[in-house]
Amino acid sequence: MKESKPFTNDSQDDVKFSVIIPAHNEEHYIGECLESIAKAAQSYKNQVEVIVVLNRCTDKTEEIAHSYNCVTLNNSDKNLSKIRNAGAALARGEILVTIDADTRMTEHFLSEVDKHLASNQYIGGGVNGDFERVSFGIIVSTLLLIVPLLFKYGFVSVGIFWCYKKDFQAINGFNETMLMAEDADFAKRLKVWGKKNGKKYGTIKNGMITSCRRFDRYGDWVLVKRPGMIFAYLKGTDQKAANEAYYEDQGR
């Protein structure tokens, strides 16, 4: 177990970033995620808190989170919007960042967020990046999902979100009526809020690396073989599909 504790967990510290991680049995992934945040946070000593929302965990996720000095809270909702919003409610930082436990931010990510928001040109935004491996099947499956979502939600980036907490609160965070595609919905609403305030929706380039665990489990051609899942994402409120994709899947 890691000896150093890179994140602040002291109420006396002046927190700049609050990073929120929803975690359901993530012992195989969350260590690398936290290590990536620690590297990105090196220029912000004692200014970064990480909030791990422990969602029905029965493994060592909590132990790993504590080894990095993360703030933790327990949550039993099968709803990623509620899980992330619960973490945001505890956040002390002026800037919120949300990241999944199987994703790693790149070393420059937090400094890029800081620079983008300090310019006063951006309301916040998302990120683009890479899968940890690529295949033709993964490319096709990803496009089959992204293209219809673009028609519904517009050109927005997702992956890792970043914005001031005040703007997160202004749009009421993530939509708790949505069980899937809540990230695209959040991005669209943040973009609209930015436009009202004369600001752009931004994208941090090459800001993340994310796992292929669902492709590993279901196959790289998963959305070719299971097109019904695409319609479930577009609908956004299908509990059965959401449970299968996220909430009853080991390691979410």
d(CA 202, CA 214): 27
Task: Give the per-residue pLDDT at 4.
Answer: 58
Residue 92, in any domain of the structure? yes
Whether residue 138 is contained in a domain is answered as: no
Helical H segments across 55-212, by residue range: 61-67, 80-90, 109-118, 136-153, 165-170, 182-196
- Give the number of domains in the chain: 1
Pair type for strands 95-98 and 17-23: parallel
The answer to whether residue 161 sits within a structural domain is: yes
What was the pLDDT predicted at 140? Answer: 92
Question: Domain range for residue 38?
Answer: 17-133+156-212
* CA distance linking residue 81 with residue 182, whole number of Å: 7
- The terminus-to-terminus CA distance of the chain in angstroms comes to 21
Asked if 149 and 214 count as a contact pair (C-beta separation under 8 A), the reply is no
What is the spatial distance between Cα 44 and Cα 16, in angstroms, rounded to a whole number?
8
Considering the entire predicted model, what is its pTM? 0.93
**Is 236 within a domain?**
no
What pLDDT is recorded for position 2? Answer: 46
Q: Is 38 left (phi over 0), alpha (psi -120 to 50) or beta?
A: alpha
> Which pLDDT score, from 0 to 100, does residue 80 have?
96
CATH at residue 31: 3.90.550.10
Query: How far apart are the C-alpha atoms of 37 and 32, rounded to whole Å?
Result: 9
Token pair belonging to 113: 């967020």
Query: Does residue 242 belong to any structural domain of this protein?
Result: no
164/97 Cα distance (integer angstroms): 9
What is the pLDDT, as a whole number, of residue 1?
42
pLDDT of residue 65: 97
Of 81, 19, 59, the residue nearest 242 (C-alpha): 81
Are residues 203 and 157 in contact, defined by beta-carbon separation less than 8 angstroms? yes
Half-sphere exposure of 226 (CA within 13 A, CB side): 14
**Residue 88, amino acid:** A
Determine the Cα–Cα distance for residues 198 and 4; give it in Å rounded to an integer.
42
101 vs 33: CA distance, rounded Å:
6
User: Residue 203's pLDDT is what?
Assistant: 97
Instruction: Say how far apart CA 158 and CA 136 lie, in whole Å.
Output: 22
pLDDT at residue 251 in the model? 46
Cα–Cα distance measured from residue 161 to residue 228, given in angstroms and rounded to the nearest whole number = 27
> Does residue 37 lie in a domain region?
yes
Is the Cβ–Cβ distance between 124 and 117 less than 8 Å?
A: yes
pLDDT in tens, the chain (252 residues): 444 578 988 877 899 999 999 999 999 999 999 999 999 999 999 999 999 999 999 999 999 999 999 999 999 999 999 999 999 999 999 999 999 999 999 999 999 999 999 999 999 999 999 999 999 998 999 998 888 888 899 989 999 999 999 999 999 999 999 999 999 999 999 999 999 999 999 999 999 999 999 899 889 888 888 888 888 888 888 888 888 877 775 444
234 located within any domain: no
Residue 166 within any structural domain of the chain:
yes
Question: Residue 12 corresponds to which tokens in the numbers above?
Answer: 């006396």
In terms of Cα–Cα distance, which of 170, 167, 60 is closest to 116? 167
